[in-house]
Structure 1
Amino acid sequence: MAAGSGRFPRVAVLKGGMAAEREVSLVSGHECAKALREAGYEVDEVDAGPDLPAVLSALKPDVVFNGLHGRWGEDGCVQGLLEWLRIPYTHSGVLASSLAMDKQRTKEVYRAVGLPVVDSVVATREAVEAGHVLPPPYVVKPFNEGSSIGVYIVHPGSNAPRLAAEMPAEVMVETYAPGRELTVTVLGDRALCVTDIITDGWYDYDAKYKPGGSRHQLPANVPEEITAACLDYALRAHVALGCRGLTRTDFRWDESRGLAGLILLETNTQPGMTPTSLAPEQAAHCGMTFPQLCDWMVRDASCNR
């Protein structure tokens, strides 16, 4: 990319989009654009819609900063478009993005490299509503959404859930993993640190994005064995999925079971990117300001891997 040419490249920041996480992406994209301007870049903010190929062809950016979240933006679709247009872009490539967005296939990759996960199946919504697909407690969620959108927790003694109309025809059902919510950011070939996400209940959409919804303790106050395992597992997940740039892998840890109680939930190839989001917060803890983080991501951009 153009970063080595002696000038700052022109960056198009993609934000918004057409997925359920549009509002989150608008905030992430705006904050990243602001940070890149502080770092010296010429920045165009692009609300990604059906005309995106024409918009990018007209802008002719040197690099695309992909600030999209959810379907189309982080599932390999826009990555394929950028490969076609030969525009270097941030975050993971087509295959890794597609794999990580499919939670069931992500688990299959984890299992193949010996990473710990809970049992899960993909089932039709009719089967899920007709009876318990797995013994309760279990979780029902779309296998290709993020931000805890459309998540149902089914407790022992509960009836089979009635899913909202907007839920897809097939969903993932996974054994409920009790315990603390931990997360690790990977930047390139380095796992940064472990954050303990503290909430009063389930870490749902409101807990993630509304003021006061959660507290972040970093580094997490957990045994060194758990810290080391989280860092190791997150980096191994990043590599096994074929990711590049920035990712964040989420865990549940049942401390009553020690290391055996640590399981991987998923890897997010395009985590939230406001200055107070989990990944930038970990980068800041490691001495990297938000503009420096965004600059690193632009310099890491590629369209050939």
Structure 2
Amino acid sequence: RGAGRRAAPAPARAAPARRAGRMTRVAVLKGGRSLERQVSLKSGARVQDALERLGHDVVGIDVGHDLVARLRDAVPDVAFVALHGRDGEDGTVQELLEALGVRYTGSGVSACIRCADKVLAKHHMRDAQIPTPDFFAFTETAFKQLGAADALPAIEQRLRFPIVVKPAGQGSALGIKFAATPADVPGALVAAFSYGDKVLLERHVRGRDLAVSVLAGEALPVVEAIPREEDFYDFEARYEIGRTDFVCPAQVADEVAERAQELALAVWEVLGCAGFARVDLMLEESTGELTVLEVNAIPGLTETSLLPQAADAAGIAFDELIERIVALAPAVA
């Protein structure tokens, strides 16, 4: 497996009988304790409904301190990871599933770690010569003990305003702030540090928000997100129905769509993703160039999420999408 999964021991006790030749028991992991809990619950509920329609025996698990016990009781054939944010996208639950010998959907531990840390992902992209907006990243310790604040004027000069300030480890546009002037930077940093101990200062790319979902190593049609009122596709615009218009396939030139898909597949390979993922890009207004912002190893599966829309544009209905994702879960050695 490209994402580097390890061999794992067999479950502690034998699973109940299944229908011959068909995997039927699926544990849907959702909820959890991250700031994306509500989105995860919505994704998980849609997945659970689809799996039930498909005839699977489904066990929904709101992930908490009793996760191991519940997995041992359920003895699933596979775990469908619909757990967004901390614990779900950063390799934590994947590591635990491997220790228990439970096969699971999506990318493996190492790929999840790379995708979840925006700074690490951007360094991998830069090393692979994949275009991503210029950036600098610092920990809270760098500001408190190494005087990083004194370097801000030089950073601001190199990135030029406006600057995007965001936490290194949050998804769904949580904690992102725009600094239009130097006076805005301290407040943006304080806001970003409230979400984690590492922040990313990134050149703002004005243009069109595009996303390319990848399923089993194949790029799906490009989606464009167009916020109706805001200039920025933020958390509320992503998940509140009616806040954003989605166009799929995106109304861009064929060569732009092809380039976006090429970049998405390049990032998929570099970060070692597997199963499914979503790559977010910007099409810069002034240059017409595409740049990659980040990769989501566990993309949303809600009614407003981009992966299901892209799959639908490719002729893959939601239930079929979920069935394919389950089928892609690798066997445990």
Smaller-chain TM-score bracket: over 0.9
Equivalent-residue separation in structure 2 for 1:159 and 1:145 (angstroms): 21
What is the RMSD of the two structures over their aligned residues, measured on CA atoms? 2.0
Deviates more, 1:148-157 or 1:29-38: 148-157
In the TM superposition, what is the alpha-carbon distance from 1:303 to its structure 2 partner? 5.8
The CA deviation at 1:304 is: 5.3
What is the total number of aligned residue pairs between the two structures?
Answer: 302
Matches within 5 A, 1:150-161: 150-156=175-181, 158-161=183-186
Q: Structure 1: how far apart are the matches of 2:148 and 2:162? A: 13
Partners of 1:103 and 1:4 in 2: CA distance? 42
Of the three residues 124, 128, 143, the one matched with 2:168 is 143
Shift of 1:35: 0.5
Determine the structure 2 residue equivalent to 1:285.
313
Q: Is the 8 A contact 2:102 2:332 kept in 1?
A: no
What is the CA distance between 1:120 and its match in structure 2? 1.2
What is the aligned-residue identity percentage?
Answer: 39
- Take 2:37 and 2:148, find their aligned partners in 1: how far apart are those partners? 28
> Is residue 2:202 matched to residue 1:169?
no
Report what 1:134 is aligned to.
Answer: 156
Matches within 5 A, 1:218-297: 218-258=248-288, 261-297=289-325
Q: Write the mapping of 1:1-305 to structure 2, written as runs, cut at 5 A.
A: 5-125=20-140, 126=143, 131-132=152-153, 133-135=155-157, 136-156=161-181, 158-162=183-187, 163-164=190-191, 166-199=194-227, 200=229, 201-258=231-288, 261-302=289-330
- Supply the distance in 2 between the matched residues of 1:152 and 1:159 (Cα, whole angstroms): 9
Rg larger in structure: 2
Determine the C-alpha separation between the residues in 1 that align with 2:323 and 2:221: 20
TM-score by length of 2: 0.86
Amino acid in the other structure paired with 1:296: R
Q: Indicate if the aligned counterparts of 1:193 and 1:218 stay in contact, CA closer than 8 A.
A: yes
C-alpha distance in 2, partners of 1:155/1:168?
22
- Cα deviation code 1:212-247 (max 9, x no counterpart): 111111111111121110011101111111110111
Paired with 1:12 and 1:264, the residues of 2 have a C-alpha distance of: 33
Distance 1:120 1:151 in 2: 14
Give the CA deviation at 1:275.
Answer: 4.1
- Give the Cα–Cα distance (whole angstroms) in 2 for the partners of residues 265 and 24 of structure 1: 21
**In the aligned structure 1, how far is the partner of 2:95 from the partner of 2:263?**
28
Whether the aligned pair in 1 keeps the contact of 2:241 and 2:304 (CA below 8 Å) is: no
- Paired residue type of 1:229: R
* Distance change in 2, residues 1:303/1:107 (3 Å): farther
Amino acid at match of 1:21: E
Cα distance in structure 2, aligned partners of 1:124 and 1:16: 28
- In structure 1, how many angstroms separate the alpha carbons of the residues matched to 2:73 and 2:301? 26
Unaligned runs of 5+ in 1: none
Contact between 2:36 and 2:172, CA under 8 Å: does it hold in 1? yes
**Runs of 5+ consecutive residues of structure 2 not aligned to the other structure:** 1-14
Output the amino acid matched with 2:110: L
Structure 1 residue 128 displacement after superposition: 7.5
CA apart distance, 1:263? 0.4
In structure 2, give the amino acid aligned to 1:49.
Answer: G
Distance in 1 (alpha carbons) for counterparts of 2:148 and 2:53: 49
Q: Which amino acid aligns with 2:184?
A: N
SS at match of 1:161: helix
Kept in 2: contact 1:120–1:174 (CA 8 A): yes
